[in-house]
Structure 1
Amino acid sequence: MLQELDAQRLVALFVAGLALFNFPLLALWDHDVRVLGLPLFPLAMFLIWGLLIAAVAWIVERSPEAPMPDDGPT
Structure 2
Amino acid sequence: MKRSQHNERLLAVIAFAAVLFTPPLILIFDQHAADTPSWLPLYLFIAWLAVIALVAWLMERPRDR
In the superposition, the TM-score normalised over structure 2's length comes to 0.78
Structural RMSD (CA):
1.9
Match of 1:56? 55
Match of 2:24? 24
Tell me, in whole angstroms, the C-alpha distance in 2 between the residues paired with 1:40 and 1:8.
32
Aligned residue-pair number? 62
- Among the aligned pairs, what percent are the same residue? 32
Instruction: Give yes or no for the alignment of 1:15 onto 2:25.
Output: no
Give, as a single letter, the amino acid of the residue that structure 2 aligns with 1:57: A
- Which has the larger Rg? 1
> 1:27-64: per-residue Cα shift (whole Å, max 9, x none)?
22112244xxxx41011001000010000000110427
Tell me, in whole angstroms, the C-alpha distance in 2 between the residues paired with 1:29 and 1:62.
35
Tell me, in whole angstroms, the C-alpha distance in 2 between the residues paired with 1:42 and 1:62.
32
Question: Structure 2: 5+ residue runs without aligned partners?
Answer: none
Q: Which structure has the highest strand share of the two?
A: 1
In the superposition, the TM-score normalised over structure 1's length comes to 0.70
Runs of 4+ in 1 over 3 A off after TM superposition: none
Q: Which structure has the highest helix share of the two?
A: 2
